[in-house]
Every structure is written in structure tokens, then in C-alpha cells.
């Protein structure tokens, strides 16, 4: 019996499946890739190049889907930590540095839980509901511009698409509420429907004034129209619209204090009462992705999208790396070593008891921090999209924090107060906003013609 | 010979229910025919109505209370509280324990304010035994009792906010309560079920740790109380959810035997500490705050009244510390107590109202019968009157404002 055969016998069933797979991935896949690239590569490149729109769409969809999970993880961790601080607690601090891997453990927990379907449930609808909710939320990412040029699809009816797809969210909640065969779920689903019907209207009407000002429905164009100083942001021309959008957006994202659909003190967990495992995780992720989308929309529509609050002086990197030739290679090889030694020297000289290897390690860490900082700085100065992305993320997370803050401080409103507020205050206010904006535009145009 | 078999009704334990009628197993309707007219009326559904079975495991029913709601959409048409999930048979346990043991049996009734659960039976036994309690012991009882009242009301404030969906105030409340129970633990040895009062005094004198913790806390108690209060009282959402909800008028409150903060919030200044004075309360200065308007009080009044009461408790604690006499804390008593045959009734003003015990002694070392009057049980009768016609969300606000504790209700 050879050694390989003996090792094979020692493997468990799982091992017998995993080891060949590992072999496939490590050996066969690279070889196949090289072969494909050699023989059918030119043809594939031709096909892709002639269908650039489709390629862009597929890449964008993949990117968006991949992007949602870390976003949700970060926001969940942020919420746990921020609310803990507001409650004078510490929050998660066991898994990873400062508990930062808590969300990952949450995800693993959901994966390992029983996927339970209650007796009497409408199984197909029950299964489909989380998918609908998750997809409806994720698909809104498609028109959100993360930076100049960083938009998956610049639809010319972007805003319309946003509200249409965002509204589908509620269909999923209603499906979940109905199919769970649970009265709490049913109440939660019906609340979701009532709330969505009431708050979609002021939400949509509050941006019509903005659309009149920008003259376009494309989210990307609206973002681009706010370039320049921060006074050009639409929040200063549409303050009422921004406020209505924030409130209606809170209701639309089902966030406290307007989280009627899952008011745990009243209806246990609303539509999600009977969900467990990965199906619940879809709802869970959808909620936090929704928070991100709402914050991103507020930033894009009212707070200058990716634009910095002030026009940044256009400092192109003074040195063009390409012109250095062989010098660049030498620089890349020599700079790390030289800088590591340079940064290590003070650690070594300051305390004679520091061993040389420790000083070198500290020097290397310092060099890494400086190098990453330098690269990011260079990227910020040299790359438009990077600067835009940085500003967009910073602004968006400010609003994510606002959502978390509201959850930590406010009690929940009652369902009739919620509906009354939408119809008696938000709707007239948004109509007033629209009327005043339209009138102002007419007056300004008339003045321009006369003058 | 013909035998008539009694009609077979499926019992809740019958597995056939699950096999034959799976849907039926989920209904809130009890599996037996209605026993009373009220039950028959309640368990028949009108057009568009449905039952919602809230509890015994529900995020906001304060323990294991089960309430069957008959709802029409979001509106509560009728409701039926179902008790007994925490029944321990305390009254029966008391009949088989001797007088010293009874004190610890009664501790877990209202586990948030245990000292009052010890106070009433101890007073009743002292009447039977004709014991004179030392004055220092009486002052210590009042001091610790009022501290316990502050802890209980602080917790109420947090639960109230939590039941309305506010996550944060409950943790601030627990900080305040924790300081007090740690303080009490320094002299009683326990954080929750203190078992501190004894027949003829208290178990152990005040010690240094208690006094230093108390001084620490007193120096910032009113400020902290004010801060916690401002967090909620200035909140528009909170006030709007409470104002006008669960309105209890004077006549109903008196008719239903309501006591404690709930009746004082309806405008009736009834407080056992003044109405039937006991211990050293006649020597102390404090007001009996009342709230309410137009001859009744709503949930917000009941909430605000408890905050007023905390301020009065702080006054009493302050006076106790200034007037604390020297002397023993226990009267000399034999270890085996055999009181004279007879009856005694003693009541104290617990944080939730009148807590009383009625003891019948037959001359042995165990009581012949012991009746416990619990304020939460009496106050809970109001839920049916106060919640009808409200929304489901208001059910939580009303129930939290009545502040029931299930340990005392189910006994």
C-alpha cells in the first residue's frame, strides 16, 4: 500500500470531497485559465469588447452583490457599538479587535441555524419573501453614484427606478407577513403595507422640486449638478424637501422611531417572527443595506453626492512615474528597505535595550503606515473617483450614524400617529415645497427674460 | 344498564388535536366549552375580529402574564387576562412554615420591592406576639424601605420607556437601581430577596459600607433622577403616546379597590403611611403627591406621579438619617415563637399600593391561615376597563403604567 493510498484512507468523507476540489482549484484551474487565454483569449476579448454595455452591467451587478454584505456587516457592528455607548455599555468586545468580527460571527450563526418553516405556512411564498426583500433593496444600488464615473447604470429615469424598486420591498414584507401563518406576522405585514402607501407619496413628492431645479431624473446628473462649493448643495435650496425626505426615508427603511413593522414590544418581531436562519439573515441584511441606501440617497440628492464641500485645488502629481524608466524599478526595490532602516533607527537608538529585530519590526510597521497613507493621499490627489468615493462614504456614514442615533434615543410612535403625521403634515408640506419651488423657477425665468 | 359517557372534549394535551386539526392547535380559544357567560361572550368572534394571544412569553408582558386580545385590525375590542403561570402556592406554604421562615417565603412575591413583602407579615406577627420594636429598628426599616421604593420606581421608569420602544432609559434606570441594591446588599447580604426584617427588629445594624455608599448616592440622587426624568418628559413622542391613554377616573378607581400610585394619579390622596400610620411615619414630614385632572388620571399622570414619589422618598431618607436614634435593632425574643391564638392584620404602603397580610394563629409555631393582599393583583383588574377600544400599542403603555409584578399576582 503506497503512502498516498494510506493517506487517502485516513481521510473522512468530507476530506475525500474537499481534497480533490482543492487539487482542482490549485492545479487544474490555473492551467485551464492559461490554456483558455492562449487559445480562445483573442476571441473572448473581441466578444466582450463589442458588448461593453452587457459586460459593464454584469460586472456592476456582481460588484453590488459583493458590496452589500460588508456594508451590512459594518453598519451592524457600528449600530451595536454606538448604541452600546449611548446606553453606557461596552458593546461587543470579544471577537476580533474591539469586537469588530462580531458581525461575521452573526453571519455564521445565521448560517448554522435551523431553517424552520412553520406548520400551516404558505411554503413557496414564505421562501420567496426574503429573496424579494433582499433583491429589491440590493437593486437600488444600481443607480447610486459612488463617485464620478462610479455608477453601475446611469439610467436617465434613475429616480423613478429608485422609488419603483424601493417600493417592491414592501411587497416582500407583505408576502412574509401573510405566508408565515402567524397573527403577529400578519399585523406586521399589514402595517408595512399601510406605512409604505402613506410614506411613498411624501417621499416621492419631496424630490420633485429638486428634479425641477436639476432638470433631470438621472441620479448621477443630480449629483454632478452640485459640484463646487457646499452652498451649491441642494439642501440649501430645498431644506424642507431634505427634511421630508429624511423623515419619510426613515419610515421607508423601517427604522426606529418609525419601525412599525417589527415593533418588538407590540407585535414580537412583526413580519420576521417566524423566520430563522439564513432566511432571517436576508431580512436582517436587507434592513441594514436599506439604511445605507437611504443615507446614500440623502447624500446624493441633497448633500452634494461625491463632491467635496469646497472646490479642491487641482494638484496633479508633479512626478509622472512612467518617465522614470529603470529608475522606477530601482526606487520600488530600494525605497522600502531604506525607509524601513530610516524609521527603525530612532527606535534602536532611543532605547539601548531594544533588540535590533524589534526595532526593525517597528520601523517596518511605521514605514507601512506612512506608505499606505502616502499612497492614499496620492490617490486622493491624482484620482477623481477615489476622492469622490472617499467623500461619498464619509457623508453617507454620517447619515448612517444619524439613523443609529435616532434608534438609540427615541421611543416608537404609535401607528395612528404615524399615519396621521404622513397625511396631515408631510404630504401638505411636500406639496407646498413643490409649489413654492415651481413658482420660484417661473419667477426667476421671467426675470431673466425681462432683464 | 346504560351508561352515559360524559361528552369528550379534546384537552390541550391530546396529541390528536395536532393530528386532526393542525390549524385548530394555534387558536387562542380554550379547548373546553365556556364555563361562564362572560367566557362564552368573549370567545365568540364578531365580524372582522380575531384573537391575538399575547403571552405568556411576549417581550412586554412584565413576566408571565397571558392576555388574550380580541382585536379588530389594530383596535382592541375586548381582552381576557389569564393568570396562574407563576403560581407557587405561597399562602399554603406559609401554613407549613414557622413564623421566622414565612418572611423568606414572602420575599419573592414582588421581587422588585422585597422589603415591603417582609414588612407586612413582620408587623402582623409583632401584633400577635405583643412585641415592642426598638425605635432604631423602626427607623432602619423606614430608611431601607424607602430606598427600595426609589429602586422600584426607577425600574418602572425604565420599563415604561422600553415598552414604548425606547431602548436607552432602561439601562440608566438599572444603574440607579444597581447602586441602591448594592447598598442594601451591604447590610442585608442579598441584592434582590433581602430577607432582612425580623420579628422584633431587623437582622443587623447599619454598617460603614452601607453608610458610605448611601452618602455617595444621596449626594447625586436628585440630580441623576432629574437627568433620567428630563430624558423622557421632554420627549414629544413619549408624552403623546401616554397622554389621554388608559384614563382611570376617581369613581372607577375607588370601586375597583385600586391602591398605591395608580389611585393617587387619579386624584385620590390615599396612602397607608398617612391613612393608617404605622412604624415611625407619623414622626416624618412628607407630602402625598397626587396627579390627575378632570376627576381622573391617564398613563402620563401615573408615570409622573411615581417621579413625584421618588422625590418624597428622598426627603424621608434624609430625615431618617438625621433623626436616627441609638439603641438596639432587635427586641429580645425566644427562638421558638408561639403567639397567642388570635387574628392580626397589617398593611404597608408598597411601591405598587397596599400590601397586607391577615394572619390567624392557633397558638402553635405556625399560622393557621395566612391571607396575602397583593396590590398588583387588584390593580391588574383595571386592564380590562382601561384597554378596551385602544390600539395594540396602547395596551403596552397602559399595562406598563399600572406597573404589575407577576410574582405578586400569581402568588
pLDDT in tens, A132-157: 998 888 888 888 888 887 777 788 88
**Is a pLDDT exceeding 60 seen at residue B23?**
no
pLDDT in tens, B219-233: 888 887 787 778 778
Decide if B42 is inside a domain: no
pLDDT in tens, A411-444: 888 888 888 889 999 999 999 999 999 999 899 9
> Does A97 touch chain B if contact means CB atoms closer than 8 Å?
no
Taking all residues of chain B, what is their mean pLDDT, rounded to a whole number? 85
**Is a pLDDT exceeding 80 seen at residue B204?**
yes
Decide if B346 is inside a domain: yes
> Does A10 touch chain B if contact means CB atoms closer than 8 Å?
no
Residue A165 CA to residue A153 CA, distance in Å, equals: 14
**Is a pLDDT exceeding 70 seen at residue A321?**
no
Backbone angles phi, psi at B323, to 5 degrees: -100, 5
Residue A76 CA to residue A70 CA, distance in Å, equals: 10
The pairing of beta strand B75-82 with beta strand B66-72: antiparallel
Residue A247 CA to residue A169 CA, distance in Å, equals: 18
Decide if B97 is inside a domain: yes
pLDDT bucket at A43, cuts 50 / 70 / 90: confident
pLDDT in tens, A4-20: 888 888 877 778 888 88
Task: Report the pLDDT averaged over residues B79-86.
Answer: 84
Residue position matching grid coordinates 421604593: B149
- The reported pLDDT for the residue numbered B19 is 47
Closest CB from A183, A267, A408 relative to B167: A408
Number of domains in chain B: 1
- The reported pLDDT for the residue numbered A432 is 92
Distance between A104 CA and the closest CA of chain B, angstroms: 24
What residues does B296 pair with on adjacent strands? Answer: B249, B293
User: Nearest 5 degrees, angle CA A62-CA A66-CA A71?
Assistant: 140
Does the beta-carbon distance from A408 to B50 stay under 8 Å?
no
Residues in chain B with CB shorter than 8 Å from the CB of A259 are 165
Decide if B205 is inside a domain: yes
Task: Report the pLDDT averaged over residues B371-378.
Answer: 91
Task: Report the pLDDT averaged over residues B67-72.
Answer: 86
Closest CB from A87, A268, A415 relative to B393: A415
Whether the CB-CB separation of B195 and B107 falls below 8 Å is answered with yes
- The reported pLDDT for the residue numbered A400 is 92
The DSSP line for A207-253 is THHHHHHHT---HHHHHHTT-SSGGGSGGGT-HHHHHHHHHHHHHHT
Percent above pLDDT 90 for chain B:
18
pLDDT in tens, B110-166: 888 899 999 999 999 999 888 889 999 999 999 999 999 999 998 898 888 888 888
Residues in chain A with CB shorter than 8 Å from the CB of B161 are 411
- The reported pLDDT for the residue numbered A313 is 66
- The reported pLDDT for the residue numbered B358 is 93
> Does A258 touch chain B if contact means CB atoms closer than 8 Å?
no
> Does A119 touch chain B if contact means CB atoms closer than 8 Å?
yes
- The reported pLDDT for the residue numbered B8 is 54
State yes or no: ipTM above 0.85: no
- The reported pLDDT for the residue numbered B2 is 57
Give, in order, the Cα–Cα distances in Å from A267 to each of A262, A436, B60, B149: 7, 41, 10, 31
**Is a pLDDT exceeding 80 seen at residue B269?**
yes
Residues in chain B with CB shorter than 8 Å from the CB of A411 are 161, 164-166, 235, 237-238, 241
Percent above pLDDT 70 for chain B:
91
Distance between A283 CA and the closest CA of chain B, angstroms: 20
- The reported pLDDT for the residue numbered B148 is 92
- The reported pLDDT for the residue numbered A63 is 81
Task: Report the pLDDT averaged over residues A304-318.
Answer: 73
Determine the length of chain A. Answer: 451
**Is a pLDDT exceeding 80 seen at residue B1?**
no
Task: Report the pLDDT averaged over residues B264-273.
Answer: 89
Residue A227 CA to residue A308 CA, distance in Å, equals: 8
- The reported pLDDT for the residue numbered A120 is 77
Does the beta-carbon distance from B175 to A412 stay under 8 Å?
no
Report the Cα–Cα distance between both ends of chain A, in Å, rounded.
99
Residue B237 CA to residue B247 CA, distance in Å, equals: 18
- The reported pLDDT for the residue numbered B17 is 47
If DSSP codes are grouped into helix, strand and coil, which group holds residue B367? strand
Which range marks the domain in which residue B326 is found? 90-410
pLDDT in tens, A331-353: 777 777 888 888 877 777 777 77
- The reported pLDDT for the residue numbered A408 is 85
Distance between A83 CA and the closest CA of chain B, angstroms: 8
**Is a pLDDT exceeding 80 seen at residue B9?**
no
Q: Model's pTM, two decimal places?
A: 0.81
Whether the CB-CB separation of A427 and A208 falls below 8 Å is answered with no
Residues in chain A with CB shorter than 8 Å from the CB of B26 are 120, 181
Cell numbers describing residue B67: 392576555
Closest CB from B22, B171, B391 relative to A87: B171
Closest CB from B52, B238, B394 relative to A411: B238
Cell numbers describing residue A266: 407590540
Task: Report the pLDDT averaged over residues A396-410.
Answer: 90
Residues in chain A with CB shorter than 8 Å from the CB of B60 are 265-266
Taking all residues of chain A, what is their mean pLDDT, rounded to a whole number? 84
Decide if B16 is inside a domain: no
pLDDT in tens, B45-66: 878 888 888 877 777 777 788 8
Residue position matching grid coordinates 426574503: A130
Residue A295 CA to residue A402 CA, distance in Å, equals: 9
> Does A415 touch chain B if contact means CB atoms closer than 8 Å?
yes
Decide if B20 is inside a domain: no
- Helices B135-163 & B169-188, crossing angle to 10 degrees? 160
- The reported pLDDT for the residue numbered B152 is 92
Q: Which element (helix H / strand E) includes B79?
A: strand B75-82
Closest CB from B52, B237, B392 relative to A410: B237
Does the beta-carbon distance from B166 to A267 stay under 8 Å?
no
Decide if B63 is inside a domain: no
Nearest chain B alpha carbon to A120: B23
Cell numbers describing residue B126: 409583632
CATH number of the CATH domain containing B156 = 1.10.645.10
Residues in chain B with CB shorter than 8 Å from the CB of A120 are 22-23, 26
Residues in chain A with CB shorter than 8 Å from the CB of B175 are 88
- Residue among B144, B111, B138, B157 nearest B214 (CA): B144
- The reported pLDDT for the residue numbered B124 is 92
Span of A156-165, A267-276, B15-24 with lowest mean pLDDT? B15-24
pLDDT bucket at A318, cuts 50 / 70 / 90: low
- Helices A102-112 & A52-86, crossing angle to 10 degrees? 110
pLDDT bucket at A322, cuts 50 / 70 / 90: low
**Is a pLDDT exceeding 70 seen at residue A314?**
no
pLDDT bucket at A320, cuts 50 / 70 / 90: low
Does the beta-carbon distance from B171 to A263 stay under 8 Å?
no
pLDDT in tens, A349-395: 777 777 778 888 888 888 888 888 888 887 777 777 888 888 899 99
Residue of B50, B72, B166 to mutate for A, most A C-beta atoms under 10 A = B166
pLDDT bucket at A316, cuts 50 / 70 / 90: low
pLDDT bucket at A243, cuts 50 / 70 / 90: very high
Whether the CB-CB separation of B359 and B342 falls below 8 Å is answered with no
Sorted by sequence, the CB contacts under 8 Å of residue A296 that are 6+ apart come out as A144, A392, A396
> Does B235 touch chain A if contact means CB atoms closer than 8 Å?
yes
Residue A340 CA to residue B174 CA, distance in Å, equals: 52
Decide if B297 is inside a domain: yes
Output Rg (C-alpha) for chain A, integer angstroms. Answer: 27
Amino acid at each position: 500500500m503506497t503512502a498516498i493510498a494510506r493517506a487517502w484512507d485516513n481521510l473522512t468523507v468530507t476530506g475525500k470531497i474537499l481534497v480533490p476540489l482543492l487539487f482542482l482549484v490549485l492545479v487544474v484551474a490555473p492551467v485551464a485559465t492559461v490554456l483558455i487565454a492562449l487559445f480562445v483569449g483573442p476571441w473572448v476579448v473581441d466578444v466582450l469588447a463589442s458588448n461593453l454595455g452587457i459586460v459593464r452591467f454584469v460586472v456592476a451587478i456582481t460588484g453590488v452583490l459583493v458590496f452589500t454584505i460588508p456594508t451590512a456587516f459594518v453598519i451592524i457592528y457600528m449600530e451595536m457599538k454606538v448604541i452600546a455607548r449611548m446606553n453606557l455599555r461596552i458593546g461587543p468586545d470579544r471577537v476580533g479587535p474591539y469586537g469588530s468580527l462580531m458581525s461575521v460571527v452573526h453571519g455564521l450563526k445565521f448560517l448554522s441555524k435551523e431553517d424552520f418553516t412553520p406548520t400551516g405556512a404558505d411554503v413557496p411564498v414564505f421562501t420567496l419573501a426574503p429573496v424579494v426583500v433582499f433583491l429589491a433593496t440590493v437593486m437600488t444600488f444600481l443607480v447610486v453614484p459612488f463617485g464620478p464615473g462610479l455608477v453601475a447604470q446611469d439610467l436617465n429615469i434613475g429616480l423613478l427606478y429608485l422609488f419603483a424598486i424601493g417600493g417592491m420591498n414592501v411587497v416582500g414584507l407583505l408576502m412574509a407577513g401573510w405566508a408565515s401563518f402567524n397573527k403577529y406576522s400578519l399585523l406586521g405585514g399589514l402595517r408595512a403595507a399601510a406605512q409604505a402607501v402613506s410614506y411613498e407619496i411624501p417621499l416621492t413628492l419631496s424630490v420633485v422640486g429638486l428634479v425641477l431645479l436639476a432638470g433631470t431624473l438621472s441620479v448621477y446628473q443630480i449629483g454632478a449638478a452640485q459640484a463646487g462649493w457646499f452652498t451649491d448643495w441642494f439642501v440649501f435650496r430645498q431644506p424642507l424637501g431634505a427634511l421630508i425626505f429624511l423623515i419619510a426615508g426613515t419610515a421607508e427603511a423601517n427604522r426606529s422611531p418609525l419601525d412599525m413593522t417589527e415593533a418588538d414590544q407590540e407585535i414580537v418581531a412583526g413580519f420576521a417572527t417566524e423566520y430563522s436562519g439564513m432566511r432571517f439573515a436576508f431580512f436582517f441584511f436587507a434592513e441594514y443595506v436599506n439604511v445605507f441606501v437611504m443615507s446614500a440617497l440623502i447624500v446624493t440628492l441633497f448633500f452634494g453626492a461625491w463632491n467635496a464641500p469646497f472646490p479642491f485645488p487641482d494638484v496633479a502629481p508633479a512626478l509622472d512615474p512612467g518617465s522614470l524608466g529603470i529608475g522606477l524599478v530601482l526606487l520600488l526595490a530600494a525605497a522600502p528597505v531604506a525607509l524601513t532602516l530610516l524609521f527603525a533607527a530612532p527606535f534602536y537608538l532611543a532605547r539601548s535595550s531594544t533588540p535590533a529585530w524589534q526595532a526593525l519590526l517597528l520601523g517596518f510597521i511605521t514605514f507601512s503606515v506612512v506608505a499606505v497613507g502616502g499612497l492614499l493621499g496620492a490617490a486622493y490627489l491624482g484620482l477623481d473617483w477615489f476622492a469622490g468615493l472617499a467623500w461619498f462614504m464619509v457623508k453617507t456614514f454620517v447619515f448612517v450614524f444619524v439613523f443609529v442615533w435616532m434608534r438609540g434615543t427615541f421611543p416608537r410612535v404609535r401607528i395612528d400617529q404615524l399615519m396621521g403625521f404622513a397625511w396631515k403634515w408631510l404630504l401638505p408640506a411636500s406639496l407646498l415645497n413643490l409649489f413654492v419651488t415651481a413658482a420660484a423657477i417661473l419667477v426667476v425665468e421671467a426675470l431673466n427674460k425681462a432683464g | 344498564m346504560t351508561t352515559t359517557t360524559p361528552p369528550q372534549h379534546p384537552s390541550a394535551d391530546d396529541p390528536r388535536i395536532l393530528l386532526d386539526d393542525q390549524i385548530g392547535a394555534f387558536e387562542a380559544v380554550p379547548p373546553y366549552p365556556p364555563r361562564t357567560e362572560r367566557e362564552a361572550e368573549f370567545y365568540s368572534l364578531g365580524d372582522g375580529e380575531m384573537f391575538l394571544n399575547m403571552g405568556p412569553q411576549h417581550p412586554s408582558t412584565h413576566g408571565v402574564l397571558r392576555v388574550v386580545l380580541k382585536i379588530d385590525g389594530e383596535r382592541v375590542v375586548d381582552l381576557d387576562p389569564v393568570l396562574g403561570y407563576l403560581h407557587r402556592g405561597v399562602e399554603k406554604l406559609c401554613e407549613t412554615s414557622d413564623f421566622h421562615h414565612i418572611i423568606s417565603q414572602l420575599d419573592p412575591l414582588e421581587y422588585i420591592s422585597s422589603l415591603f413583602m417582609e414588612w407586612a407579615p413582620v408587623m402582623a406577627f409583632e401584633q400577635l406576639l405583643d412585641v415592642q420594636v426598638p425605635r432604631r429598628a423602626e427607623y432602619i426599616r423606614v430608611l431601607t424601605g424607602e430606598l427600595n421604593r426609589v429602586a422600584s420606581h426607577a425600574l418602572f421608569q425604565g420599563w415604561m420607556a422600553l415598552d414604548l420602544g425606547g431602548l436607552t432609559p432602561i439601562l440608566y434606570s438599572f444603574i440607579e437601581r444597581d447602586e441602591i441594591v448594592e447598598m442594601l446588599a451591604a447590610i442585608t447580604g442579598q441584592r434582590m430577596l433581602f430577607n432582612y426584617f425580623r420579628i422584633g427588629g431587623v437582622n443587623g445594624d447599619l454598617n460603614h459600607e452601607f453608610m458610605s455608599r448611601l452618602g455617595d448616592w444621596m449626594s447625586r440622587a436628585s440630580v441623576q433622577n432629574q437627568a433620567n426624568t428630563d430624558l423622557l418628559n421632554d420627549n414629544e413622542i413619549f408624552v403623546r403616546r401616554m397622554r389621554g391613554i388608559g384614563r382611570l377616573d376617581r369613581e372607577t378607581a375607588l370601586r375597583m379597590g385600586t391602591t398605591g400610585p395608580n389611585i393617587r394619579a387619579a386624584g385620590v390622596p390615599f396612602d397607608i403611611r398617612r391613612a393608617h400610620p404605622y412604624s415611625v411615619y407619623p414622626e416624618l414630614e412628607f407630602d402625598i403627591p397626587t396627579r390627575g385632572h378632570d376627576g381622573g388620571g391617564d398613563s402620563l399622570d401615573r408615570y409622573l406621579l411615581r417621579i413625584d414619589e421618588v422625590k418624597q422618598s428622598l426627603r424621608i431618607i434624609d430625615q431618617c438619617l438625621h433623626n436616627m436614634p441609638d439603641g438596639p435593632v432587635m427586641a429580645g425574643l425566644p427562638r421558638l415563637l408561639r403567639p397567642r391564638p388570635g387574628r392580626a392584620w397589617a398593611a404597608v404602603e408598597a411601591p405598587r399600593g397596599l400590601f397586607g397580610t391577615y394572619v390567624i394563629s392557633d397558638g402553635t409555631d405556625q399560622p393557621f391561615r395566612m391571607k396575602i393582599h397583593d396590590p398588583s393583583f387588584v390593580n391588574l383588574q383595571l386592564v380590562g376597563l382601561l384597554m378596551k377600544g385602544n390600539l395594540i400599542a396602547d395596551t403596552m403603555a397602559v399595562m406598563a403604567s399600572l406597573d404589575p409584578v407577576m410574582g405578586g399576582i400569581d402568588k
